[in-house]
């Protein structure tokens, strides 16, 4: 149980698979007016962050075809790849997921971009949506 103040589950970012960041950044940045935020690469993808209020749109461009985003693009084409929720207590959330019978991709939290503890849930148990959980 964490001693951190609880902030409640909210959408942290929506990850969108793209073939080329430069093709989509102008839409989100210039047409929709979302400020660009620098983000580190992660999981074999270059990431462009665009702030939509407290949430981010993350455009994910594969650096290699065998990366998770590269495989996704091959199979499904460009589009929404995952939705990430911030949670107060990742261990407690994963425990509830297990109790609810959900399939976890990460049985244990791992360290994701920005040094946060993250874990993914399998889309087969979440209505077809890959869900990332990230601790505040
Ligand atoms: Co993500």
54-70 confidence digits (pLDDT tens): 999 999 999 999 999 99
Supply the pLDDT for residue 3: 58
In sequence order, the 6+-apart residues with CB closer than 8 A to the CB of 19 are 61, 73, 78
* Fold annotation for 10-135: 2,3-Dihydroxybiphenyl 1,2-Dioxygenase; domain 1 (3.10.180)
Confidence band for 45, pLDDT divided at 50, 70 and 90 = very high
State the DSSP H helix or E strand holding residue 23, giving kind and residue range, or none if neither.
Answer: helix 21-26
| Residues 8, 12, 15: CA angle, nearest 5 degrees | 150
CA of 84 to the centre of ligand 1 (A): 6
CA of 57 to the centre of ligand 1 (A): 10
Supply the pLDDT for residue 20: 97
Supply the pLDDT for residue 5: 67
Please state, rounded to an integer, the average pLDDT across all residues of the chain.
94
CA of 133 to the centre of ligand 1 (A): 8
- Tell me which of 19-23, 41-45, 58-62 is least confident: 41-45
Domain regions of the chain by residue span: 10-135
> Which token pair is 78?
């460009």
pLDDT (mean) for 5-9: 82
CA of 45 to the centre of ligand 1 (A): 11
CA of 83 to the centre of ligand 1 (A): 7
Burial class (CB in 10 A: 0-12, 13-18, 19+), 21: middle
CA of 51 to the centre of ligand 1 (A): 14
CA of 15 to the centre of ligand 1 (A): 6
CA of 13 to the centre of ligand 1 (A): 7
CA gap 42, 129 in Å, rounded:
20
The proportion of the chain whose per-residue pLDDT surpasses 90, expressed as a percent, equals 87
Q: Is the pTM of this model over 0.85?
A: yes
Supply the pLDDT for residue 4: 58
Supply the pLDDT for residue 113: 76
Confidence band for 28, pLDDT divided at 50, 70 and 90 = very high
CA gap 63, 72 in Å, rounded:
13
| Residues 107, 13, 22: CA angle, nearest 5 degrees | 120
State the DSSP H helix or E strand holding residue 36, giving kind and residue range, or none if neither.
Answer: strand 36-38
């Amino acid at each position: 149980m964490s001693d951190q103040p609880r902030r409640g589950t909210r959408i942290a970012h929506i990850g969108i698979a793209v073939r080329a960041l430069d093709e989509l950044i102008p839409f989100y940045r210039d047409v929709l007016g979302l400020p660009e935020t620098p983000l580190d690469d992660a999981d074999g993808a270059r990431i462009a962050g665009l702030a939509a209020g407290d949430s981010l749109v993350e455009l994910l461009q594969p650096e290699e075809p065998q990366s998770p985003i590269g495989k996704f693009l091959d199979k499904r084409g460009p589009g929404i790849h995952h939705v990430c929720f911030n949670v107060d207590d990742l261990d407690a959330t994963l425990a509830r997921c297990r109790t609810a019978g959900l399939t976890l991709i990460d049985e244990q939290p791992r360290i994701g971009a920005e040094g946060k503890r993250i874990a993914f849930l399998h889309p087969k148990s979440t209505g077809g949506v890959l869900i990332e959980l990230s601790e505040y």
